[in-house]
Amino acid sequence: MKRHPRNPLITRRDIVSSHPALRDVSSVFNPGGTWFEGRILLLLRVQNRARETLFVKAWSENGVDFQVQGEPLPVLGLEACLHRIFHIYDPRITLLDGIYHVICAVDTDQGCFLGWFTTPDFASLDFRGLVSPANTRNGVFFPEKIDGRYFRFERPNTVMMGDGVKTGSRILCSSSENLLNWSAGEELFSGRPHYWDELIGSGPPPLKTKQGWLHIFHGVATHFGSANIYQAGVSLHDLKHPWVTLARGKYNILEPREIYELCGQVPNVVFPTAALPLQTDSRGCLAPNSEVYVYYGAADTCVCLAVTTVQELLEAVYAP
Ligand code: BMA
């Protein structure tokens, strides 16, 4: 993928607000993204100096110049959650059945869950429920039903790091009739010890191509002393049976190299969370030469853009 020359696209300085929780914030990263009313809309994960997490909307005609809203996005209905919530973060947005569905990681006093939210218009996010077992992150909904069922990828946090942080090395595919109750997941693939993708998790929601579902994910190399290196890679999955992996890229497609990826709140991180195609064909598949704008968090500090094409992603999946 090619970094956009204007990176980093959105930094803490772009959050200009008189709202007390948004004054002089610490960082803005890992945005959800979607096309909305002809523009690109990002849902920014903003962290303030109380280390609280808020969502702020940003939108753009060209995917590069963003206008950032001066208010946090209201999240409604959280009183229905039985656990004490600390943070809601890393949104992934999917347009499905005519409304926008957002899955986030929800840190609670009972562990981290996938939280499901909906909105018709991004005026607020409506909480619909915690929809995973405890200790699950990196959930992404598929943009359409397959054989009458909804599908998603998810990442159980079953690996305990030396510092006590829970993470994971398997991505699962589960399905549902109603988006609330989900089947036990089938494993797509797991981390590859000693290589770039030892720990893994889905990035943006999968993209439909004629050849299969393109899936951008992050991989973490943990064998470099104290550094965990977060990179991005790509895999391809069967259109009818999305848990079947047709191919998995051997090489990463983006790794921390620029100063804004190497230095920051968490160094050595590129973390893709939105992949927006510029052109689709008449059947809803991506056009083969379509550009894809991939938005990612860099060093848990700012928002960046990498540009690629469907063709390049498919080549990366099969690179020898
Ligand atoms: C992951 C998540 C992300 C974060 C990344 C790098 O486990 O917590 O939100 O961007 O680590 O710190």
Chain segment 66-103, per-residue pLDDT in tens: 999 999 999 999 999 999 999 999 999 999 999 999 99
Residue 160: pLDDT over 90: no
pLDDT computed for residue 225 by the predictor: 80
pLDDT computed for residue 288 by the predictor: 85
pLDDT computed for residue 35 by the predictor: 97
Closest by alpha carbon to 235, among 221, 208, 219, 217? 217
pLDDT confidence tier of residue 227, bands split at 50, 70 and 90: confident
Sheet holding 99-108, edge to edge: 75-76, 125-130, 111-119, 99-108, 85-96
Whole-number Å distance, alpha carbon 220 to ligand 1 midpoint, is: 10
Which of 271, 273, 296, 303 most suits a substitution to test ligand 1, by most atoms within 8 Å of the C-beta? 271
Mean pLDDT over all residues of the chain? 96
Whether pTM > 0.95 for this model: the answer is yes
Whole-number Å distance, alpha carbon 269 to ligand 1 midpoint, is: 8
pLDDT computed for residue 226 by the predictor: 73
Residues in CB range of 319: below 8 A, 6 or more apart: 249, 250, 251
Handedness of CA 224, 230, 232, 233 (dihedral sign): positive
Contact 304, 230 (CB under 8 A): no
pLDDT computed for residue 282 by the predictor: 72
Ramachandran sector of residue 261 (left: φ over 0; alpha: ψ -120 to 50; beta: rest): alpha
Whole-number Å distance, alpha carbon 160 to ligand 1 midpoint, is: 14
Stretch 48-66: mean pLDDT = 98
Stretch 209-221: mean pLDDT = 97
Partners of 297 in the beta sheet?
271, 303
Contact 155, 171 (CB under 8 A): yes
pLDDT computed for residue 279 by the predictor: 85
Whole-number Å distance, alpha carbon 218 to ligand 1 midpoint, is: 10
CATH code of residue 228: 2.115.10.20
Stretch 266-272: mean pLDDT = 97
Contact 309, 292 (CB under 8 A): yes
pLDDT computed for residue 258 by the predictor: 98
Which residues form the pocket of ligand 1, taking CB atoms under 6 Å from any ligand atom?
Answer: 30, 90, 167, 230, 266, 269, 271, 297, 300
Closest by alpha carbon to 60, among 47, 43, 48? 43
Contact 275, 313 (CB under 8 A): no
Stretch 139-149: mean pLDDT = 97
Contact 51, 26 (CB under 8 A): yes
Q: What percent of the chain has pLDDT over 70?
A: 100
Total domains present in the chain: 1
pLDDT computed for residue 313 by the predictor: 98
Residue 21: pLDDT over 80: yes
pLDDT computed for residue 83 by the predictor: 97
Residue 163: pLDDT over 80: no
Q: What percent of the chain has pLDDT over 90?
A: 92
Spatial separation of the C-alpha atoms in residues 5 and 13, rounded to whole Å: 18
Tokens representing 46 are 């903003």
3-state secondary structure of 22: helix
125-130 and 75-76 strand pairing:
parallel
Stretch 19-42: mean pLDDT = 97
Residue 283: pLDDT over 80: no
Residue 162: pLDDT over 80: no
Q: What is the domain range of residue 216?
A: 2-317
Whole-number Å distance, alpha carbon 29 to ligand 1 midpoint, is: 10
Stretch 213-232: mean pLDDT = 93
pLDDT digits (tens, 9 = 90+) for 148-157: 999 999 999 9
Residue 28: pLDDT over 90: yes
